[in-house]
């Protein structure tokens, strides 16, 4: 009986977050916009009030959903008690957002789940309620510092080049070709703005991160299949994570309309699908950062 109650509680966490994401995609502002599309400011990099650490994986996606639906302009979040501990007060009637804390279990309950490092472990999901700084009184947030646009674009260029994935420029289509392990991109001038150029480039290098000799994701799916939609969803979240790190907006592509129906079908068919996609996206984001010189220097 107890184990059945545990399983029901976990299923409720999966369903609750998935339903919010589905609703955000179906009813979000703007054509074809998903929660992982953002403006590059601090709202795209949700962090915890108490620890100062960034949220990861599915929690980032859940907080993107809340920010998009409710128009929050800051990425600082905390529990009711955390806000109270710094002398702030959550306003009466404010609605909390659900995040998940994963704890590994050795035996007994829990679900087999792939963590952000790509290892399949028995994990127990516990839900927490958090509130955005926009929902509290008595707290003065520190102003966010954003590098000049030219510097951010230069950092994006260097970041992608450090991945060691060959890019061939020319033509009218952007894609990753597994047989040659090459990314193909239209030239810079073909895009409406720099953010779109770097967003598409990161998307395609995101697919390349899943190659067998890198993170070994399933890249065999054809358009219209569940596996194809799952990979596209993973890479879209990955692009949102990295662009947020770089302070660059993540705009919807014009072809996103073709993907929306397939994304929604995958999410509706399996409440855990978005958790898996976010986990793989976080794993890929971590891999990309590990290719950067500063990370390699720290590991040496």
Q: Mean pLDDT, 10 residues at a time, over the chain (300 residues)?
A: 45 79 70 74 90 93 89 93 97 93 64 52 76 96 80 95 97 95 96 92 97 95 86 93 94 70 83 90 97 73
pLDDT in the model for residue 143: 76
Phi, psi of 227 (to 5 degrees): -65, -35
What was the pLDDT predicted at 4?
44
pLDDT at 106: 61
* Residue-level pLDDT at 297: 61
The pLDDT, as a whole number, for residue 170 is: 96
Q: What pLDDT is recorded for position 214?
A: 98
**pTM of the prediction?**
0.85
Query: What Cα–Cα distance (Å) separates residue 87 from each residue in 80, 129, 144?
Result: 11, 18, 21
pLDDT of residue 299: 55
Which H or E run contains 78? strand 76-78
Determine contact, residues 192/199, Cβ cutoff 8 Å: no
Helix/strand/coil for 50: coil
- In 94-225, alpha helices (H): 149-161, 194-209
Backbone φ, ψ for residue 184 (5° rounding): -115, 130
Rounded to 5 degrees, what angle do the CA atoms 285, 290, 295 make?
Answer: 130
Domain boundaries, the chain: 2-137, 149-299
Structure confidence at residue 5 (pLDDT): 42
Cβ–Cβ < 8 Å for 277, 285: no
Instruction: Give 3-state DSSP helix, strand, coil % of the chain, rounded to 5.
Output: 50, 15, 35
């Amino acid at each position: 009986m107890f184990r059945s109650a545990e399983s029901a509680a976990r299923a409720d966490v999966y369903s609750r977050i998935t339903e919010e994401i589905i609703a955000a995609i179906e009813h979000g502002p703007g054509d074809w916009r998903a929660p992982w599309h953002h403006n590059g400011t601090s709202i795209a990099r949700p962090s915890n009030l108490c620890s100062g650490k960034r949220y990861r994986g599915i929690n980032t996606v859940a907080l993107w959903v809340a920010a998009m639906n409710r128009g929050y302009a800051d990425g600082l979040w905390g529990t009711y008690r955390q806000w109270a501990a710094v002398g702030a007060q959550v306003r009466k009637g404010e609605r909390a957002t659900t995040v998940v804390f994963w704890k590994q279990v050795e035996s007994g309950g829990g679900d087999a789940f792939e963590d952000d490092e790509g290892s399949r472990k028995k994990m127990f999901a516990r839900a927490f309620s958090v509130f955005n700084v926009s929902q509290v009184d008595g707290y003065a947030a520190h102003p966010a510092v954003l590098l000049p646009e030219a510097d951010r674009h230069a950092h994006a260029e260097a970041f992608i080049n450090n991945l060691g994935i060959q890019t061939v420029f020319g033509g009218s289509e952007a894609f990753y070709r597994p047989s040659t392990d090459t990314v193909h991109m239209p030239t810079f001038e073909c895009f409406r703005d720099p953010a779109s150029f770097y967003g598409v480039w990161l998307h395609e290098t995101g697919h390349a991160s899943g190659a067998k000799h890198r993170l070994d994701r399933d890249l065999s799916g054809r358009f219209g299949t569940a596996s194809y939609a799952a990979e596209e969803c993973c890479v879209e979240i990955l692009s949102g994570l990295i662009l947020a790190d770089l302070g660059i907006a993540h705009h919807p592509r014009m072809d996103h309309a073709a993907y929306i129906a397939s994304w929604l079908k995958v999410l509706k068919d399996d409440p855990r699908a978005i958790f898996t996609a976010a986990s793989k996206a976080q794993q890929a984001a971590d891999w990309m950062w590990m290719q950067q010189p500063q990370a390699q220097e720290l590991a040496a």
